[in-house]
């Protein structure tokens, strides 16, 4: 029970990693504040959390909205009286195009959620996290480790998120608050499964063949499951990582080395 009686706020609750983060934290003893734009997803995951014997509060939230973000912080504190960990998992995908073809509005929207939205939550929860000597985990991406074509706008937002996390670690460290980042690679969840299926149909091969091609470039020869990525977040949120801050831990099965 690494997070026994802790309160964890998770943004970006969805069917993949967001859900796994919430449930793995609950399995380790935490009560969960669930935030996402889609209320039906929040309701589903909240039931799974309470079925594990932990408390769950749902707050429909667009973290790019100051009003929504403020309501999230107010609800979390009024419900539990404390916050021990903030997991910034919410993100918006910028245009997957080369920079000369990417509309600035799309890039700007990506920054608004992926970077400024995350910072907005950090600032709102800062007093509570300082009081609990808590932790923050940012969810970045392995995109920061490569420069593949069309990934530029996405890499730019996730790289900015990492730089922000490192600076926040320096700011908040004297207050006892740890700030770390994870950089997952492919995660074998609904979005990647759908993408692999699309690629398979386009090329006239099976989804398993697409999977095997990708896995061949990964040291462990498998794509990480959502729970495996979430367990890394549990570790960083726990006292087992009490001396770890300002770090970025890659969770990609060895696809990239850093």
- Structural domains in the chain, sorted by start: 7-187+225-251 (3.40.50.720), 188-223 (no CATH)
Active-site residue, 158 included: yes
Closest CA relative to residue 214, chosen from 232, 196, 189: 196
Give the pLDDT of residue 258. 86
Give the pLDDT of residue 172. 98
Give the pLDDT of residue 226. 97
Give the pLDDT of residue 252. 96
> Which member of 20, 135, 140, 141 is catalytic?
141
The reported pTM is 0.96
> Which member of 20, 154, 155, 169 is catalytic?
154
Active-site residue, 256 included: no
> Which member of 140, 155, 158, 169 is catalytic?
158
- What residues have CB less than 8 Å from 112, skipping those under 6 apart? 64, 92
Active-site residue, 242 included: no
The ranges of the chain with pLDDT < 50 are none
β-pair partners for 36: 60
Strands (DSSP E) along the chain, which ranges? Answer: 7-11, 31-36, 56-60, 85-88, 135-139, 178-184, 248-251
């Amino acid at each position: 029970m690494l997070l026994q009686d802790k309160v964890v706020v998770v943004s970006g609750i969805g069917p993949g990693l967001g859900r796994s983060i919430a449930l793995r934290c609950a399995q380790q003893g935490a009560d969960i504040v669930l935030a996402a734009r889609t209320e039906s997803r929040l309701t589903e995951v909240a039931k799974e959390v309470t079925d594990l014997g932990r408390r769950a509060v749902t707050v429909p939230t667009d973290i790019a909205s100051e009003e929504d973000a403020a309501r999230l912080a107010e609800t979390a504190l009024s419900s539990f009286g404390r916050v021990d960990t903030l997991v910034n998992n919410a993100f918006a995908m910028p245009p997957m195009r080369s920079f000369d073809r990417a509309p600035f509005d799309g890039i700007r929207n990506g920054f608004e959620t992926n970077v400024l939205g995350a910072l907005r939550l950090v600032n709102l929860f800062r007093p509570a996290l300082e009081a609990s000597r808590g932790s923050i985990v940012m969810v970045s991406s392995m995109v920061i480790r490569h420069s593949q074509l069309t990934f530029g706008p996405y890499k730019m937002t996730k790289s900015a998120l990492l730089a922000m996390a490192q600076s926040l670690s320096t700011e908040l460290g004297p207050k006892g608050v740890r700030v770390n980042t994870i950089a997952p690679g492919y995660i074998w969840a609904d979005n990647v499964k759908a993408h692999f299926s699309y690629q398979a149909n386009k090329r006239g091969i099976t989804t398993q063949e697409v999977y095997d091609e990708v896995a061949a470039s990964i040291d462990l020869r498998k794509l990480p499951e959502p729970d495996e990525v979430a367990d890394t977040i549990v570790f960083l949120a726990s006292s087992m990582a009490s001396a770890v801050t300002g770090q970025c831990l890659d969770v990609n099965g060895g696809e990239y080395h850093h």
